Structure 1
Amino acid sequence: MLPTLPRMTSKKALPLFYAICPDYSTEPSATLQRRLKVRAEHWKRAEEDKKEGTLEFGRGTVAPPSHPLHTDPKLPSSLQAMNGSIMFFRYKSLSDVWDRLKEDVYYTGDVWDKDKIQVGEFIRLPGEGEE
């Protein structure tokens, strides 16, 4: 007998979206400095989103070893060479995800490359979306 999936909470019943947000790459060191300057504000909003149930997962991405950030003398030795973000959200629509991203300090503070952001929806698994 196959196990039954647990009933979803109201937020879990919403579609699951991904947002891939690369940082501007023309001056990676300057972009990283802008990222670090507003990082606490970004994290505060992410914590609020988690509590609301709209943010499932979010992390900064690390540049590949060939990226100039890895040899940048301005990069603190304790910091990974971040070059973007990836997040999974629960919202009603794609436009809601875009609205959320456009409010983010990484968006308004010119960290994320607005022209390269990718947002999409995951397929639902059997049993998801049922109340």
Structure 2
Amino acid sequence: MPPKSDLSASSTSVKIHPYMVWAPDHTDEGALARRLAVRQQHLVGVNKITKQGVLRVASALLAPGSEDAEPQDRKFAGSMLIYEAESLEVARRLAEADVYWKGNVWDKEKMVILPLLMATTLPERAGIVYPMPEDEN
């Protein structure tokens, strides 16, 4: 992937657009176990591409009623991510490179990727930076 370009760059530069990925988890009996088995690997991967400026937002989606649950009792519904990429196809390839895709955590048939027209700025553009877990190794 070429270096990330500024969204306001001239028309001769590569244009980067935000894409939202809604990736629901499978709902079968082993879905949570598959998620938890590769979770740390997933976090390392998203941390890496966040530092590269490609992944702007990532979040687990909780099932209703899980927001106040103890960590071991949380029920997951899927993931939401915002990538900045050159095209919808590049955003799709980024999602497909994730260990949750490869590990059959996300329901590939139900995944939705849409371009965004941002009404607010991303936190980093507003000068807000959240700490990320350190990479392994």
Using the size of structure 2 for normalisation, the TM-score is: 0.70
Query: Quick one: structure 1 residues 99 and 117, their matched pair in 2 at CA, closer, same or farther if it must change by over 3 Å?
Result: same
Pair 1:118 & 2:120 matched: no
Q: CA-to-partner distance for each residue in 1:14-69, whole Å, 9 max, x for gaps? A: 20110000000132xx111110100111111101111110111001000123xxxx
Alignment of 1:36-75 (within 5 A): 36-65=36-65
Q: Aligned residues, how many?
A: 105
User: Quick one: which amino acid aligns to residue 61 of structure 1?
Assistant: L
Higher relative contact order (CA 8 A, sep 6+): 1
* 8 A Cα contact 1:11 1:54, kept in partner: no
- Tell me how large the CA RMSD over aligned residues is: 1.9
Point out where structure 1 has 5 or more consecutive residues left out of the alignment. 1-9, 71-75, 126-131
Percent identity (aligned): 27
Larger Rg: 1
2:32 corresponds to which letter in structure 1?
A: L
Q: Which runs of 5+ in 2 are unaligned?
A: 8-15, 120-137
Structure 1 residues 47 and 11, CA gap change in structure 2 (3 angstroms):
farther
One of 54, 73, 85 as aligned partner of 1:91? 85
State yes or no: 1:32 paired with 2:32: yes
Distance 2:57 2:110 in 1: 20
Residues in 2 aligned to 1:61 and 1:124: alpha-carbon distance in whole angstroms? 20
- Deviating 4+ runs (over 6 angstroms): none
CA deviation map 1:73-105 (0-9, x unaligned):
xxx943321120000110000000111111111
Which amino acid in the other structure matches residue 118 of structure 1? V
